[in-house]
């Protein structure tokens, strides 16, 4: 079982405040959680190198190979200079 100091450290890392009653509950809950993790690690077939995500790269889903016609894009721009969109200054120098 985790010590009270260890549970308080975890609570600090999680940026939560816990009282004495919650401390004992978290001690029990974290012990159960770590026991389950140990069971997984004790499996004969457990191999960290074979752990994978069901999605190879989640960021690939956001990419599209869509070409944008710059002339059509600039049609609805309120201010432009040549092929550039003019935006208001946001930083005072």
Location of structure tokens 């969109």: 85
Q: Residue 15's pLDDT band (boundaries 50, 70, 90)? A: very high
Q: For 65-93, what is each residue's pLDDT tens digit?
A: 667 788 888 888 888 888 888 988 888 76
- Dihedral sign for Cα 73, 79, 84, 90, please: negative
Three-state SS for 48-75 is HHHCCCCCCCHHHHHCCCCCCCHHHHHH
pTM above 0.75, yes or no: no
Name beta bridge partners: 67.
none
Neighbouring C-beta atoms of residue 29, cutoff 10 Å? 13
Q: For 18-76, what is each residue's pLDDT tens digit?
A: 998 899 999 999 999 999 988 887 777 666 666 666 666 666 666 666 677 888 888 88
**CA 33 – CA 37 distance, rounded (Å):** 6
Location of structure tokens 């190979």: 65
pLDDT value at 13 more than 90: yes
Q: Supply the pLDDT for residue 50.
A: 64
């Amino acid at each position: 079982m985790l010590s009270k100091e260890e549970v308080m450290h975890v609570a600090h890392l999680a940026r939560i405040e816990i009282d004495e009653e919650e401390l004992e509950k978290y001690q029990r809950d974290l012990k159960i959680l770590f026991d389950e993790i140990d069971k997984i690690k004790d499996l004969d077939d457990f191999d960290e190198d074979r752990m994978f995500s069901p999605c190879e790269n989640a960021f690939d889903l956001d990419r599209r190979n869509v070409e944008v016609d710059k002339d059509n894009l600039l049609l609805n721009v309120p201010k432009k200079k040549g092929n550039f969109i003019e935006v208001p200054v946001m930083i005072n120098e």
